[in-house]
Structure 1
Amino acid sequence: MTRALHRWPGLVAALLVTLLALSGAALSLFPAAERLAAPQAEAGLTVAELSGRIAASHPGLEQIRRAPSGRITAWWFADGQPQSAVIDPATGLDAGSADPNPLQRWLTGLHRSLFLGDAGRMAAAAGAAAMLLLSGSGILLVARRVGGWRHWFARLRGPLSGRLHVEIARVAVVGLVLSSATALWMSASTFELLPDGASAPVFPAEVSGATGMQLAAIPALQALPVAELGSLSLADPADATDAHLLKTSAGSGYLDQGNGEMLSWVALSPWQRLSGIVKMLHTGRGAAVLGLLLGLMALGVPVMAATGGVLWLAARRARPRIRGNAPAARADTVLLVGSEGGTTWGFAATLHAALTAAGHSVHVAPMAGFDPARHPQAARFIALAATYGDGAAPSSAKGFLDRLAQLERAPEAPLAVLGFGDRGFPAYCAYAEAVAEAARAKGWPQLLPLATVDRQSPQDFARWGCDLGQALGRPLELVHQPVVPRTETLRLLSRRDYGAEVQAPTVILRFARPRPTPWQRLTGQGLARYRAGDLLGILPEGSAVPRLYSLASGAGDGFVEIVVRKQPGGLCSGQLCDLAPGDSVAAFLRPNPGFRAPRGRSPLILIGAGTGIGPLAGFIRGNRRRRPVHLFFGMRKEDSDFLYREDLAYWQEQGRLARLSSAQSRGPQPHYVQDALRRDAAEVAALIRQGAQVMVCGGRDMAAGVRAALAEILAPAGLTPALLKAEGRYAEDVF
């Protein structure tokens, strides 16, 4: 049993564990390097003295932060531009760049999430769990092999691979246990499975109303050694109601900027203190020597993985397969699948079963792995291609067009392309069209003209199956049952109605957030984690095809909110607009990473019309750091469908929304959102030159008008919406 517990995690997770170990070993060098390079504060230096020195040389100072290595970093504004630098605490002057090391950032992304977001974080946690299981079972196996714990370092006999495997294991196992156990703790904390969330102090209800007290004169800072500082975020001197936020190794609190009084304080909980120690042990930040030792021990993992593979004479196999999938080399029909959410694989399975029943040898594979050399007996290729976002390749088709372009010549076996999409979106089957066009340009023979399936329609699929059967010379009946996504029940809390006067009934629906189970928190299933801009799928009664609505809320808001306009004859919108508080709907979450508010402090320009304000309102609501957000919103009439009017005014008061420009399309002087952009062209161009990011949500005609307006505005600067999009600074959610 112990050997099996050691063997299978090692076989399955060898590559993942090796990758995590090597990236962790590389990362262990940076805390030590940072400790050596960072100017250290002299003994006895207080935060008051430090902040006074920095403030004197950095007008517009906003924040001071101390890293566990002792490095002091400051952020400030100069000429309207955010600045940052590493600070010499002895002088308060700049001592170096605060820009993150690109290699360190890349390694951190690899180590934490494999660049796969939450799915990658879960994979990394699984790798840590496998490493912990391997370490525990390995300890038992080594003890058994050497004859007990007292002979732990006894001389070994046997093949070199076996000796090397055990020699490294019994030296490195302590470090591997510590690293994997702390990694699991940090993963549990990331997925909110531990009660160690940050306890924020209550913002004071009353302040002195004064401003301008020197930082060096604040008593709390005079009594605080720099070694205990976490960060000091300074209040806005122009806002007498604002306060300084101080974070230390003991807790955090607000300080009055007028008299220096501690207005509120929250001490770290035992869980938070313990999590801080765990983080130090795992990362080496604050314990650089320990980090180097753990990194050195982690270097033994790839050697143990290789020697373990030799001992076990096994290979990893972790590729999902369709039942009865023919070998690639012997298949006469090859189905290439490009899918994002997984539904296209269901159509591929139906087609695979029908063609197999008709006597064909069928192989199904992702488009991303396309290689004609793997299919020497192929008589035909069939590509089932969905479209992601604004015409992009879905996840299982990435790289297909590049592979096709690199071929010296196209395959002789003909190709049929079937696109999957939703006609309600402007980029309907755009990726399938790109595949068909690239195939024609390459000279790939055509088995059938390009065809499409709208909204997972079984009827469209069946009609195309008849055409395919005629091309193959035998009847082919495709009876596909769409897989209904697993849904959760959402109960309506409240509704706000608009638009009746302009014959465009619109409602803001707020649902109670279902309480996620621990498993959902860990796996991200259901509505455990979501952000404004993600999509909420609603299954209307009497239909198996969901409708998607952009979320106007995030999980941190504690509710699920969407904006719905009643469409003439619309099945789903009609049912949603008829809901009353207390009613329920079946829904599921579909992440939309291509349309999420980017992180950072750069300005954000939000442009929307009608129900397109939904996700934009969610971005503003979530702007707790008060980055500059400028909203351009188009409506029909201000007194009828000014969605979120009261909320927007409140968010402006809070500083979450810097500026609101609205446009009315009905009235004496019709004015559209693109007209509002042209009216403020100089400011829009200046914001974009400063690094602003643009996000557009609404109908396709509005989006086209916005692109045209921005092209005019940005032309003098040599910029275009397409260029901004290539830089990751322009995103659309168009319907």
Structure 2
Amino acid sequence: MTLSIWRYSHLILAVSSSLFLLVASITGVILSVEPINNKLQPYSISNAEGLSLAETLANINARYDDVISVSQDQNGFVSATVIIDSKNESFYIDPITGDKLGPIIEKAPIYQFATNLHRSLFLKTPGRLFIGLASLLLFFIAVSGIVLIAKRQGGIQRFFSSVVRENYAQYQHVVYSRIVLIPIVILALSGVYLSLLRFQLIPETFITHEIDFDNLQEEPLLDYTNFELLKNTPLSELRDIEYPFSEFVEDYYLIRLKNKEVLLNQYTGAPISEKKYPMVTLASEWATVLHTGQGTILWSIVLGLGSLAVPFLMFTGFAVYFKRPKTNIKNTVPKEKARFVILVGSEGGTTLQYAQLLHSQLLALGKKSYLAMMDDYTTFKSMEHLVVITATYGQGEAPSSAIKFETLLKKHIQKQPYHFSVVGFGSTSYPHFCEFAYETNKLLQTTPKANALIAQVHTVNDRSFEAYTNWATAWGNLVGLNIRLTKPTKLAEKSHKSPFIVLEKTEAQDMIDDTFLLTLKNTNGAQANSGDLLSIVPGSGEQERLYSLGKLDDNIFTISVKRHPEGLCSNYLLQLEKGTTFSASVVANKNFHFPKKAKKTVLIATGTGIGPFLGMIRSNSRKNEIHLYWGGRTEDSLKLYKPFIDNALESGSLTTFIPAYSRTQTEKKYVQHLIKQDGEQIAKVLRKKGCVMICGSIAMQKEVLNELQSICNRYLKKDLSFYQNRKQIKMDCY
């Protein structure tokens, strides 16, 4: 009886998973060739492993002026991403000489096809589920096969003894099963693990760093080649290094090693934060290597032979038993009139642009699609599909266009059932990655009439178009639509272009910070306000760059620009002469417009973030209280804006101006220090329904928000989110 149970279990498991295992095994054989082919490429440099990271970076930096990152893949090939002729280029390099060896290996079409088929049967999420289950069944097939062989052979101790030959199929089935047993078990278990990871049944952990920006030091200044970590770490330990984005001390080297991640002060070389990778991360990497053979020829051959054995074992097994075909079922589900409603939660407009791609595709397919912000949620009489595409603000909170969504969702209950899907945009650089998207998903799961089309939130890190289009394709498959998003090269074309003429331009070389002001006139009278965005496409095929507008007069605007040595758009703007006309688009950014009803406003900016505030201050004809806090490097940094500031103070359109300088020889101050210093006054502004507006870097925003939270706790006895929800906190940071 026990033998029959094991035998029928083996049979049922094999029959039920046969088709998927056949596809997975055949594609597995194809994919086993890829790591072998990659490993044989001429990009491996002998004796390079003995180099230290300091020596490696010195060799690379000597050849290239602008290095963004250096990486090492599973094959030991070292690559670099550098800026050459204003464009990012990535290629393999010789870490000893810094010479370019060749382009980054691209996945050949046959491997791409095999990968997609192997992972999901082209069914995306449902297909991944089938393959994951097939991997689990393969493990159970192997276990039941071990039991059957052990019983057949007379015990586990005789497992590898001679096999009695009854017929060809039986004999070959047993013999080859024993040979490939270990690779098959490893393939199955690693496949199950990766599937569990994919469906988040195994929690994926992320390293988070806590940085005390106030205590970052610039002295003692050391050359990076003398950094202890770089000197004492061999190249063989490297995953990748990301160079500091700027010369500010708040930016650092991000170094990922085999077993840990380190943030390194770019001036002193002191570790700012060091975190070891959690076991889940290391286990996931091992599972990937064991399942794919990446970086090793020998194991790839073993995996290839193991995968090749699966169809053979299926053939011989079904020669003894029988086989069964697959079944495949596909479901198609196509406001007042809209069947598809796309809601967007966006802080700066980027998420909206991605949502517009899907919206446009639906319209092109003849579908009735409606695009709106999350705060515009209402009753949609014909809605069958709701898609929420949202960013996350601050500490896992709603972005500015989604603050009222939870209230509106509870208020407007749809009369008809509908399916929903949630896509989260964010960056893993921040601890609350896509948290608002997850909260939105939970909220919808408890909403009457709402049914999840895709159970899991799909996350898009750092605006990855590939990650977004992968979701869109999968979502389209689920609703019966052929969604194929094309990566936009001119996002600004979504808005009407307007001619702008250059009225005035300062020179960047006259400023210590390499910044300059452009005064522009919109010659066709298109409406815009301070805080709206100017979308500029510097060249054919290039993506848009966004600059925050300051409105000085009717159709007269200013933008503040920092020139980057290899920056395509900043150098394009710098070369424009007085009287030159160019085309650009105005992108509305109403969530960052100056508050009309506030009697008191606090403006907080660093560097070029002051740009939109220049226009807001100029338009303060009522002489309402405006307090401007601005952070720069030195007093020389203020020269560009000082005439405007002095004039505004004299006219009364600006009440107070408080600067902070972070590069002075005496007391170094950041703008957050000013906020802390004037906490009681800022609390009074919020208490009297005033507004705080922030424009500048994300790093500055984080520090300022921390101080505002402390101010709210100390003086107002409320959480910062209370004022954010009342739109008393407005931000446009980058």
Q: TM-score, normalised by structure 1?
A: 0.51
**Distance across 1 between alignment mates of 2:460 and 2:113:** 21
Correspondence list, 1:239-250, <5 A? 239-250=248-259
Amino acid at match of 2:45: Q
Check the 8 A contact 1:61/1:74 in 2, yes or no.
yes
**Distance across 2 between alignment mates of 1:151 and 1:219:** 54
Tell me what 1:339 maps to: 332
Tell me what 2:403 maps to: 508
Check the 8 A contact 1:508/1:562 in 2, yes or no.
no
1:225 aligns to 2:234 (yes or no): yes
**Distance across 1 between alignment mates of 2:127 and 2:411:** 29
Amino acid at match of 2:187: S
2:121 to 114, 118, 124: 114
**Distance across 1 between alignment mates of 2:150 and 2:466:** 60
Deviation digits for residues 211-262 of structure 1, max 9, x if unmatched?
9964323221100011111111110234442101011112011111112111
Check the 8 A contact 1:210/1:257 in 2, yes or no.
no
Tell me what 1:155 maps to: 163
1:2 aligns to 2:11 (yes or no): no
Correspondence list, 1:617-628, <5 A? none
CA shift for structure 1 position 61 = 0.6
Check the 8 A contact 1:233/1:246 in 2, yes or no.
yes
CA shift for structure 1 position 135 = 0.8
Q: Secondary structure at the match of 1:74?
A: strand
Tell me what 1:469 maps to: none
Q: Secondary structure at the match of 1:316?
A: coil
Tell me what 1:295 maps to: 304
Check the 8 A contact 2:363/2:369 in 1, yes or no.
no
Tell me what 1:59 maps to: 65
1:559 to 421, 430, 436: 436
Deviation digits for residues 406-425 of structure 1, max 9, x if unmatched?
xxxxxxxxxxxxxxx75869
CA shift for structure 1 position 209 = 4.6
CA shift for structure 1 position 693 = 12
Q: Secondary structure at the match of 2:404?
A: strand
- Segments of 5+ residues of structure 1 without an aligned counterpart are 321-336, 342-386, 394-420, 427-453, 458-481, 486-492, 499-505, 513-535, 564-578, 605-626, 636-662, 695-735
**Distance across 2 between alignment mates of 1:41 and 1:12:** 49
Check the 8 A contact 1:75/1:84 in 2, yes or no.
yes
Correspondence list, 1:615-654, <5 A? none
CA shift for structure 1 position 40 = 3.1
2:362 to 377, 382, 389: 389
CA shift for structure 1 position 562 = 11
Deviation digits for residues 49-104 of structure 1, max 9, x if unmatched?
11111111122111111122211111111122110111112212111111423244
Check the 8 A contact 1:603/1:693 in 2, yes or no.
no
Tell me what 1:684 maps to: 537
Correspondence list, 1:440-479, <5 A? none
1:543 aligns to 2:547 (yes or no): no
CA shift for structure 1 position 603 = 13
1:40 aligns to 2:35 (yes or no): no
Is the alpha carbon distance of 1:603 and 1:25 closer, same or farther for their aligned partners in structure 2, counting shifts above 3 Å? closer
**Distance across 2 between alignment mates of 1:68 and 1:549:** 35
CA shift for structure 1 position 204 = 4.7
Tell me what 2:56 maps to: 50
Is the alpha carbon distance of 1:32 and 1:539 closer, same or farther for their aligned partners in structure 2, counting shifts above 3 Å? farther
Q: Secondary structure at the match of 1:299?
A: helix
Q: Secondary structure at the match of 1:95?
A: strand
Is the alpha carbon distance of 1:388 and 1:316 closer, same or farther for their aligned partners in structure 2, counting shifts above 3 Å? farther
Check the 8 A contact 2:419/2:453 in 1, yes or no.
no
Deviation digits for residues 660-708 of structure 1, max 9, x if unmatched?
xxx99xxx966389xx99x85xx3362x6136799xxxxxxxxxxxxxx
CA shift for structure 1 position 634 = 8.7
Correspondence list, 1:405-484, <5 A? none
**Distance across 2 between alignment mates of 1:203 and 1:629:** 37
Q: Secondary structure at the match of 2:40?
A: helix
Deviation digits for residues 300-326 of structure 1, max 9, x if unmatched?
111122232332233224245xxxxxx
Is the alpha carbon distance of 1:114 and 1:73 closer, same or farther for their aligned partners in structure 2, counting shifts above 3 Å? farther
Is the alpha carbon distance of 1:691 and 1:154 closer, same or farther for their aligned partners in structure 2, counting shifts above 3 Å? farther
Tell me what 2:268 maps to: 259
Check the 8 A contact 2:414/2:449 in 1, yes or no.
no
Alignment RMSD (CA, Å): 5.1
**Distance across 1 between alignment mates of 2:87 and 2:185:** 46
1:170 aligns to 2:178 (yes or no): yes
Correspondence list, 1:660-671, <5 A? 671=527
Q: Secondary structure at the match of 1:198?
A: coil
- Segments of 5+ residues of structure 2 without an aligned counterpart are 335-359, 373-379, 388-394, 427-431, 468-487, 497-520, 547-734
Check the 8 A contact 2:416/2:449 in 1, yes or no.
no
Q: Secondary structure at the match of 2:62?
A: helix
Is the alpha carbon distance of 1:145 and 1:254 closer, same or farther for their aligned partners in structure 2, counting shifts above 3 Å? same
Correspondence list, 1:137-156, <5 A? 137-149=144-156, 150-156=158-164
Check the 8 A contact 1:539/1:586 in 2, yes or no.
no
Is the alpha carbon distance of 1:221 and 1:631 closer, same or farther for their aligned partners in structure 2, counting shifts above 3 Å? farther
**Distance across 1 between alignment mates of 2:420 and 2:163:** 65
Tell me what 2:15 maps to: 11
Q: Secondary structure at the match of 1:20?
A: helix
1:28 aligns to 2:38 (yes or no): no
Is the alpha carbon distance of 1:587 and 1:220 closer, same or farther for their aligned partners in structure 2, counting shifts above 3 Å? same
Check the 8 A contact 2:54/2:227 in 1, yes or no.
yes
Is the alpha carbon distance of 1:147 and 1:92 closer, same or farther for their aligned partners in structure 2, counting shifts above 3 Å? same
**Percent identity over the alignment?**
19
Deviation digits for residues 5-51 of structure 1, max 9, x if unmatched?
21122112212112222222332333333333332351521111111
Deviation digits for residues 377-402 of structure 1, max 9, x if unmatched?
xxxxxxxxxx9923539xxxxxxxxx
Tell me what 1:90 maps to: 96
**Distance across 1 between alignment mates of 2:451 and 2:210:** 35
Is the alpha carbon distance of 1:497 and 1:556 closer, same or farther for their aligned partners in structure 2, counting shifts above 3 Å? closer
Check the 8 A contact 2:424/2:437 in 1, yes or no.
yes
Amino acid at match of 2:362: G
Amino acid at match of 1:315: R
CA shift for structure 1 position 275 = 3.3
1:136 to 134, 143, 148: 143
Is the alpha carbon distance of 1:281 and 1:124 closer, same or farther for their aligned partners in structure 2, counting shifts above 3 Å? same
Is the alpha carbon distance of 1:61 and 1:115 closer, same or farther for their aligned partners in structure 2, counting shifts above 3 Å? farther
Check the 8 A contact 1:46/1:225 in 2, yes or no.
yes
Amino acid at match of 2:332: S
Amino acid at match of 2:168: L
CA shift for structure 1 position 263 = 1.1
Q: Secondary structure at the match of 2:262?
A: strand
Correspondence list, 1:195-210, <5 A? 195-205=203-213, 206-209=215-218
Check the 8 A contact 2:69/2:241 in 1, yes or no.
yes
Amino acid at match of 2:434: D
CA shift for structure 1 position 456 = 6.4
2:246 to 237, 256, 260: 237
Is the alpha carbon distance of 1:223 and 1:256 closer, same or farther for their aligned partners in structure 2, counting shifts above 3 Å? same
Tell me what 2:554 maps to: none
Is the alpha carbon distance of 1:304 and 1:541 closer, same or farther for their aligned partners in structure 2, counting shifts above 3 Å? same
**Distance across 1 between alignment mates of 2:221 and 2:85:** 21
**Distance across 2 between alignment mates of 1:99 and 1:51:** 22
Is the alpha carbon distance of 1:255 and 1:484 closer, same or farther for their aligned partners in structure 2, counting shifts above 3 Å? closer
Correspondence list, 1:291-370, <5 A? 291-319=300-328, 339-340=332-333
Tell me what 2:191 maps to: 183
